[in-house]
Amino acid sequence: MNLFNIISILITIVALFSYINYRFIKLPTTIGLMLISLLASLAFSALQLTGLDVRTPARAFLKTISFDQTLLHGMLSFLLFAGAMHVNLRQLAEQKWVVGTLATVGVLSSAFLVGVLSHYGFSLLGIDLPLVYCLIFGALISPTDPIAVLAILKNIGAPKSLETKIAGESLFNDGVGVVLFMVLTHVAATGDVAFSQIGLLFFEEEVGGVVFGMVLGYVAFVLMKSVDNYQVEVMISLAVVTGGYAAAMAVHTSGPIAIVVAGLFIGSLGRQWAMSDGTRGNLDMFWGLVDEILNAVLFVLIGLEVLVLTFRQEYLFAGGLAIIIVLVSRFISVAIPIGLFKFRQQFTPNAITIMTWGGLRGGISVALALSLPAGGGERELLLNVTYVVVVFSIVVQGLTIGSLIKRVDQAVSL
């Protein structure tokens, strides 16, 4: 199947599911699309029991898409840039220490906690998973997914300071998680643990990503400032997202972090000093549309991805236990930094609870699990467990975080 046919089928499915959700179900778009996709996947599996095999061609179609490559090396840069453009840089700077700590120390501590607790928890279920693979699971599931988080934050009406913390953390912590994931998969494959190389890799990816993103954003800023034509400026932003991401990966820095930094630069300084009112409006409209379309495609793919999984009873039990472990680890990794920073600044009441429940996992975790090398039972187990956690996070946490914030606001006002 050629690329045009793949895109045609996918866009048609997304349009149909979007219509069904908007017309009949009326859930938030991302959650509604994923639920419809899940139901469609279950329906395909049920039809197979009647002798009508729809599941096999559907699985073959999904395998041609290659979810992990499509997201990590295609859609991710566009979604990160669109999200970063609408984060207020001044407000983010005010929360820089909290966001920076949560995105680094918070992710590393959560990954360690998830790994250790999963190792002992899975053993109680009779699942013998080596510690290094449990730590790999901790690395891929601990970063909050910026795509899922930003999609939900649009609709919940969180206080601005809290929204900035959640959004800022989600935009930066996936870079830390991806580097940790790369290191641990290398250790699992080779047994080689070289701490000097690990430290150098973190420096190259994280610091290099920030510096590269600043240079990228500044170059785009200068180019945009020298013209007043929204078509040209939109194309410059597209060049940043595509060429900038590819260049960052080519020089072995973090592409996601570079694009986030460039997006923050253009969305704040570029919007204020390098764009006319007409350009601002057209640029926002363009990237808003890109964001909506790609989010819709992504969450449909997450729902359909259940077709490529092989569920077993022990995997479902392990996934249920993993939900509890991930939430407990998230609570601890958020509570300690916020508890320390409370001596220096004010926090929204019940910020720890809200940030714990609002730390959504999404497509990036599934993509990383899918990128694990085939062979052995570890990949299949981790993929199934990751999928269970992600579905719970998006559906249950995503649907209830708004009401949680409202209840907290009402309790404070009383």
The residue ranges of every structural domain in the chain are 3-64, 71-413
DSSP 3-state percent helix, strand, coil across the chain (nearest 5): 85, 0, 15
- The Cα 102–Cα 157 span in angstroms is 22
Tokens of 49: 């029991």
In whole angstroms, what is the distance from residue 259 CA to residue 217 CA? 9
Return the biggest CA–CA distance within the chain: 65
Q: Which two tokens stand for residue 247?
A: 């260049």
- Establish how many alpha carbons lie within 13 A of residue 160's alpha carbon, considering only the half-sphere containing its beta carbon: 8
Query: What architecture does CATH give domain 71-413?
Result: Up-down Bundle (1.20)
Mean pLDDT, the chain, rounded, equals 90
16: left (phi over 0), alpha (psi -120 to 50) or beta: alpha
Opening angle at CA 364, ends 198 and 83, nearest 5: 105
* Residue 183 vs residue 142, higher pLDDT: 142
Neighbouring CB atoms inside 10 A of 50's CB total 7
CA nearest to 81, candidates 146, 165, 30, 148: 146
pLDDT in the model for residue 412 = 57
Number of helices (H) and strands (E), helices first, in the chain?
A: 23, 0
- Taking residue 370's Cβ as centre, other Cβ atoms within 10 Å add up to 21
Lowest mean per-residue pLDDT among 13-22, 126-135, 276-285, 345-354:
345-354
CA distance 101 to 221: 29
What is the tens place of the pLDDT at every residue in 53-75? 888 999 999 989 989 999 998 89
Distance between CA atoms of 137 and 111, rounded to whole angstroms?
8
Confidence of residue 409 (pLDDT cuts 50, 70, 90): low
